[in-house]
Amino acid sequence: MLEATKDPVSAPSATEAGAAPLNPALAAEAKIARVAVTVFPLLVLAAGIAGFLLPGAFKPLGPAVPYLLGIIMFCMGLTLTPPDFTAVARRPWAVVLGIVAHYVIMPGAGWAIATLLHLEPALAVGLILVGCAPSGTASNVMAFLAKGDVALSVAVASVSTLIAPVVTPVLVLFLAGSFLTIDAGGMVLDIVKTVLLPVIAGLLARLFLKKLVAKALPALPWASAVVISLIVAVVVAGSASKILAAGGIVFLAVVLHNGFGLGLGYLAGKLGRLDDKARRALAFEVGMQNSGLAATLATAHFTPLAALPSAVFSLWHNISGAIVAAWLARKPLQEQKPLQEKQEA
């Protein structure tokens, strides 16, 4: 999948000082990382246009959206390895900070923006739902392209996804309950079925079918990109009749939401006294959401209009993420001063 891609030119060596061993899945997909990140937003945009112009062709696929998301999550499970989880034990403070920042900043920002812009209830719930989702499917590769801490990025993305069945419904109930009735219990079951179980299945397949999975790894970014694009087409088709009326305010809300996440994610790392590589990783882990999950939950539990913020977010956060990653990559990493030197300063 997209978050598990790498670039052969600038990929960090596992022997660099302080570097964690690279996930083999990242190295396996090295040659297609930049191409995937460039093409992905174009695929999503094309899918959105297709869903808007041909709603009759995609709307009948609505019931298949949970299964499509399951495919994406299965691909994520295939890319995870034991070092991804040992990274949590090696750096618990950084991972906990990333998780807390992710599940505080984005849900809070979603609620604040929905309230300030006076979004209608369905759109407000949709925006909040995006904010309460786990890390996005391209966050790791953006962290890599920005010369950030990829090991930390993978650890935060993995943990945020694994705890989503509990955290996401609780946050949605707390923040969006005043807009629409929330079925938190049903949401828990849906996230377990569409996220947790497929990820575990992918992990098991990686464990017992190593050779077969190794051959499939290079194709995972494209498989995820195509499936996510199809989800966007279905979601847009479901609310095509209202897009012209609501599209502008939704786009503004999504741009603000994503921008706050990227900026405050980096600031959280700075306040937590993490090094510059870790700050760059947290920017993307906070600012990029699993919009596919948000779209699935919005479609299943609310109206098609509630899924519109997820569709717009899916397009925008990949465009903004690529731009921010390219900008950060051009900036030299700030060297972390030794503690003694800081005290003497």
**Angle at the Cα of 195 from the Cα atoms of 193 and 200, rounded to 5 degrees:** 90
**Domain boundary assignment for the chain:** 2-10+20-330
Q: Which residue has the higher pLDDT, 69 or 35?
A: 69
Q: Does domain 2-10+20-330 have CATH number 1.20.1530.20?
A: yes
289 has which bridge partners?
Answer: 135
Amino acid identity, position 190: D
CB 97 within 8 A of CB 149: no
Taking the model in full, what pTM does it have? 0.78
Out of 87-91, 238-242, 277-281, give the one with best mean pLDDT: 277-281
pLDDT given for residue 178 in this prediction = 73
CB 220 within 8 A of CB 75: yes
Average pLDDT over residues 200-208: 86
Which residue in 53, 110, 17 sits closest to 233, CA to CA? 53
**Which residue carries 């191409």 as its tokens?**
35
pLDDT in tens, 135-193: 877 787 788 778 888 888 888 988 898 899 999 999 999 998 777 777 788 889 888 88
Is pLDDT at 220 greater than 70 in this prediction?
yes
Determine the Cα–Cα distance for residues 145 and 172; give it in Å rounded to an integer: 32
Q: How confident is the model at residue 223 (pLDDT cuts 50, 70, 90)?
A: confident
Paired tokens of 165: 């069945």
pLDDT given for residue 337 in this prediction = 52
Determine the Cα–Cα distance for residues 222 and 230; give it in Å rounded to an integer: 12
pLDDT given for residue 344 in this prediction = 47
Which residue in 136, 148, 21 sits closest to 90, CA to CA? 21
Paired tokens of 303: 């109206």
Is pLDDT at 339 greater than 50 in this prediction?
no
Paired tokens of 186: 């049903």
Q: Which residue has the higher pLDDT, 4 or 29?
A: 29
Q: Which residue has the higher pLDDT, 210 or 127?
A: 127
Q: How confident is the model at residue 133 (pLDDT cuts 50, 70, 90)?
A: very high
Determine the Cα–Cα distance for residues 240 and 207; give it in Å rounded to an integer: 42
Which residue in 160, 149, 142, 106 sits closest to 318, CA to CA? 142
Please report, in angstroms and rounded to a whole number, the separation of the first and last CA atoms in the chain. 45
pLDDT given for residue 16 in this prediction = 40
**Angle at the Cα of 262 from the Cα atoms of 259 and 263, rounded to 5 degrees:** 85
Determine the Cα–Cα distance for residues 330 and 64; give it in Å rounded to an integer: 41
At 23 the three-state DSSP class reads coil
Determine the Cα–Cα distance for residues 202 and 58; give it in Å rounded to an integer: 28
Question: What totals of helices (H) and strands (E) does the chain contain, helices first?
Answer: 19, 0
Which residue in 192, 168, 214, 250 sits closest to 27, CA to CA? 214
DSSP letter at 194 equals I
Q: How confident is the model at residue 15 (pLDDT cuts 50, 70, 90)?
A: very low
Determine the Cα–Cα distance for residues 104 and 72; give it in Å rounded to an integer: 25
Which residue in 328, 58, 25 sits closest to 151, CA to CA? 25
Paired tokens of 32: 């297609």
Find the range with the poorest average confidence among 28-32, 74-78, 147-151: 28-32
